[in-house]
Amino acid sequence: MKNILTCIIVLATLPITQAGGWMTAQRIPVTPAKNLFIITIDGFRWKELFTGADEALINNTKYTADTSIMKMMYWADTPEERRKLLMPFFWNVIGKKGQVYGNRNNDSKVNVSNLYKFSYPGYNEIFTGRTDLFISSNDKIINNNTNVLEYLNGKEEFKGKVVAFTSWDVFPFILNEERSGILVNSGYENREDNLSENQSLINTIQSESILEKGATRYDQLTFLNAKEYLQHHKPRVAFIGLGETDEFAHQGRYDLYLEQANKIDKMIGELWHWIQTTPGYKDNTTILLTTDHGRGNKESKWTSHSAFINGSSQTWLAMIGPGVEPLGEIKKESQLYQQQVAGLIAGLVGEEF
């Protein structure tokens, strides 16, 4: 890591006012940590993150089969109460000791820059810091753009210490696994190298116990694979890409969408506890969380996202770590963009991308 005491991450924004068209910049001062974990929650709306369960959807039996149970679990009178019911760790810990951007009710905005507003273009933007008009589908096409994980892995101090574990099986193409040289474990892919007893068990579950294998692995299996690797290999940069929230949303299952968000919150809490109780990671690791795209704002459109659906570009960003000033939820007017995340990822470990 470079000998940097404080790194100023400059996030360019759109004009606060329409007049003049000046480009402004928001500066986020952070002290780089030694390690960084990146977590993405695919297609998870800013609405649920900041205001909890949507009243229209949790009361609609078309999307929530048993509205009474879901309301007992996730409904309360205020947005602050509802979001804590849904994601207690996030709001009790990250919301107090970290920074959270994207509550549009407070004019804090985060948006994608790509035209398409779905997964492959979104993840390309997150990890390469650029949009690409030619990345216009979710097909398994090798991404020729250099990504920040590949860039870090090319540095001597990070070589072999950058990994990715993802539920969606398109990530080996998004991150160009073959060229980048980083370990990318995706979908129902078993690990075969230096297996621990627990990893062998995880492989068995993936190979024999999953009856219907789709493009997206169960997030819990992705998390178990990642955590087992972390415990034995101690990488410096790890990306964990979770995907079931988007899957359930596309299925129109708002109940399962909420339940999965709650499960992911528990995973994040478990990971943070492990970080803070593990030598080498304790007080020396930052977690960065975001999503690849938004979803429709309207009740009839929430299951989908595209260039033609309002709300699809609206995302969010959060981080917590020893060098992240504990500003909590940002409640002032601001505009961030997804393509700035790649530079932020590098800056959080003291590098420039």
Distance of CA 56 to the CA centre of its chain: 26
The answer as to whether 151 is a domain residue is yes
Count of structural domains, the chain: 1
Q: Are 127 and 147 in contact (CB under 8 A)?
A: yes
Is residue 95 one of the residues assigned to a domain? yes
- Domain extent, residue 93, equals 7-347
- Average pLDDT for 191-198: 84
- Strand 162-166 to 99-101 pairing: unpaired
Q: How confident is the model at residue 15 (pLDDT cuts 50, 70, 90)?
A: very low
Residues 6+ apart with CB under 8 A from 147: 124, 127, 128, 174, 175, 176, 180, 342
Asked whether residue 2 is domain-assigned, the answer is no
182 in any annotated domain: yes
28-77, pLDDT tens digit by residue?
Answer: 667 899 999 999 999 999 999 999 999 999 999 999 999 999 999 999 99
Residue at 353 is within a domain: no
Residue 203, domain CATH? 3.40.720.10
| Residue 161 maps to a domain | yes
Residue 1 lies in a domain: no
> Residue 176 has what pLDDT?
98
Q: Is the pTM of this model over 0.95?
A: no
pLDDT at residue 13 in the model: 33
Strand arrangement of the beta sheet that strand 334-337 belongs to: 314-315, 108-111, 334-337
What pLDDT is stored for residue 2 in this prediction?
37
Q: For residue 27, what pLDDT is reported?
A: 55
In a domain, 137, yes or no: yes
How much is the average pLDDT of 169-194?
94
Task: List the structure tokens of 250.
Answer: 């596309």
